[in-house]
A and B are shown apart, each in its own frame.
Chain A
């Protein structure tokens, strides 16, 4: 008996159907397959879905839509896109495949999702799938994706990294707190607050004096979150120090109230 249901390839193709009902049916079947596949077959199914997600077409046989539509008014890119390999499946299918890989939390899914982080049309779903993937490869791929340029995507990557562990993750987040893009810095402040590490307070405290009002506001919230994370982890001393610092600062009243409650002052 094959590890992967032979109908999977057909369902993948069917997801590209222009009939919404047909495409939806195929996705539902694949979703059920992904959610109900036994542990022993998970890697094989991840491989089948992943290969389809990153598959390239032979010249002239690809999904086509991206080169024709997105780059219609750019003569240089249009010319280049004729030469470049195109994805075999359209964007909607690739995004769905990335999403399905998120239901398969295994090492085998990570390389494909890492590759899909370079696919402008599927990367957001790939990023989300990597967030659910427990492998070290997933964390490494997300760290590498911080080198992209779109601030919203990068903020999403940081949110995903906040769910990961390890020195490399923390180092990447600390670096992101100094980023040039304010959206990235704000995301990094909240992410750092999720790690019960008292040394992060220096970064957060500094951000309470940032030039951006939104960044200052987020930094105050992040400090309160960090204090709570430390309290929950059992480090009440560090939590207390941060709460005292919040009370002595120009933090908004809600964060001061949280600090008072944390210190037992009602």
Chain B
């Protein structure tokens, strides 16, 4: 029996910070705190995710104050500023260059909701400017960026929350706790299902449509949008939401949904500080463009403890844990098991608060709790539920899958040294040079 399965649920929660999260959350006052106790937040990237998700939620959160907004698209910035002004009657500082926001001493923390290719540069500069950080998932676009980010976070004592908010959703917490408490027997395999084309969850797995290149619209600073990514002429289906289908800006499906579900797999395995030792991925890359990510994929990961993780499109959307004595399936808004009794694990004491019902009906489950956990940790200087090392390792799992798929072969991985032993080509793909003048 491995160490993971021997760990009790209470000790697991203690180690994972779950207990601390809950106690802090339970003690939280619903009244609006004094201004000096509120965290003044700057949002960098206020497109759909930054504006309709983070800004809206944080405007409603009495413990946060929106101090600044930044976007390379003036329309996005204006919409966000209007939203903030309407609710607070205060106009936040607005800019198009994140460095102007980071210069401000009145900003305590930043939320980064830019395309993935910007995360590491903005994250590191934010921490070096003394800010705490909430960074959207996936934390990085390349493996090497994450190690650097984690180092800077430790050096500056920055509190970092990665936007894998499923860690703050009671269903996923419960599922992971049950697996680690051995409720389905010895863990054999975890399957992470990222959704199929043609289904609701997989509706965006498509090759895209070629559009003629255009002059960027006047409200958009295209050069700044591209930042460290290789120069490409502007076309609408490269920009904004659709960045996630281009490997210069994102890892595609496996880092989009994979950053959520593979993160849960790592958590259940107790591998937040480590990773697999072998990867074998097969993917179908779209060769007619314009989207170049692997829409169809199946990646197998093997860990030192013998457990296999399979990441694939098929099987809906969610995470399935296969044990010697049964299975558990968890997705947003749904938790199932081979035997319903498995889910009725006794809970007691402070741990019961983990199963907080407040986020049961959130449109994206776990979001409020994830924000609150971050705000708690900014105050207590504790590690967040999805801290930077965790986010780096979970993103790495996704990147490893992409690298194996792109190379078309199985790979050995050393999770301690974070390298592919003796594999020059694979090691090249751990990172990527940035377009000048950008660097980490």
Contacts and interface: CB of A to CB of B under 8 A. Distances in A.
A35 B433 contact: no
Nearest to B103: A217
Interface in A144-161: 152-153, 155-157, 159-160
A152 B288 contact: no
A145 B292 CA distance: 32
Contacts of A83: none
Given A99-B230, A153-B436, A156-B436, A35 B406 contact: yes
A132 B424 CA distance: 10
A261 B407 contact: no
B407 A155 contact: no
Contact of A254 (B156, B287, B425, B437): B156
A119 interface: no
B155 interface: yes
Contacts of B437: 152, 155-156, 159, 183, 187
A35 B76 CA distance: 38
A253 interface: yes
B439 A261 contact: no
Contacts, number: 100
Contacts of B157: 257-258, 261
B156 A152 contact: no
A52 interface: no
Interface residues of A, number: 46
Given A254-B128, A257-B130, A155 B436 contact: yes
Interface in B226-251: 230-231
A68 interface: no
A124 B435 contact: yes
B285 interface: yes
A195 interface: no
Interface string A216-229: 00000100100010
Interface stretch (A1-9, A18-26, A69-77, A110-118): A18-26
A29 B156 contact: no
Interface string B400-440: 00000011110000000000000011001100111111110
Given A20-B290, A21-B210, A190-B439, A128 B156 contact: no
A64 interface: no
B33 interface: no
Nearest to B431: A132
Given A24-B289, A25-B289, A156-B437, A124 B231 contact: yes
A232 B151 CA distance: 10
Given A25-B288, A105-B425, A132-B428, A254 B129 contact: yes
A221 B437 CA distance: 17
A190 B148 CA distance: 14
Contacts of A129: 433
A159 B436 contact: yes
A37 B151 CA distance: 34
A103 B156 contact: no
A95 B129 CA distance: 35
Interface in B97-144: 127-130
B156 A21 contact: no
Given A20-B290, A21-B288, A261-B155, A128 B433 contact: yes
A131 B436 contact: no
A262 B210 contact: no
A87 B290 CA distance: 27
Contact of A105 (B285, B408, B428, B439): B428
Contacts of A28: 285, 287, 289, 292
Interface string B212-227: 0000000000000000
A105 B424 contact: yes
A156 B128 CA distance: 21
B143 to A, nearest CB: 14
A159 B290 contact: no
B439 A187 contact: yes
A258 B290 CA distance: 44
B289 A20 contact: yes
A208 to B, nearest CB: 15
B436 A29 contact: no
Contacts of A124: 231, 435-436
A162 B144 CA distance: 15
A121 to B, nearest CB: 11
B433 A132 contact: yes
Contacts of B230: 99, 125, 128
A36 interface: yes
B128 A24 contact: no
A157 B129 CA distance: 26
A105 B287 CA distance: 24
Contacts of B406: 35
Nearest to A255: B128
Contact of B434 (A159, A224, A253): A159
Nearest to B408: A36
A28 B292 CA distance: 8
Interface string A169-183: 000000000000001
Contacts of B439: 159, 162, 187, 190
Given A32-B285, A255-B128, 9 more contacts: A28-B289, A36-B408, A103-B425, A104-B425, A127-B433, A190-B439, A257-B157, A261-B157, A262-B155
Interface of A: 20-21, 24-25, 28-29, 32, 35-36, 39, 99, 102-105, 124-125, 127-129, 131-132, 134, 152-153, 155-157, 159-160, 162, 183, 187, 190, 221, 224, 228, 232, 252-255, 257-258, 261-262
7 A-B pairs with the lowest CB-CB distances in the bound complex, closest first: A156-B436, A254-B130, A128-B433, A24-B289, A131-B433, A159-B439, A155-B437
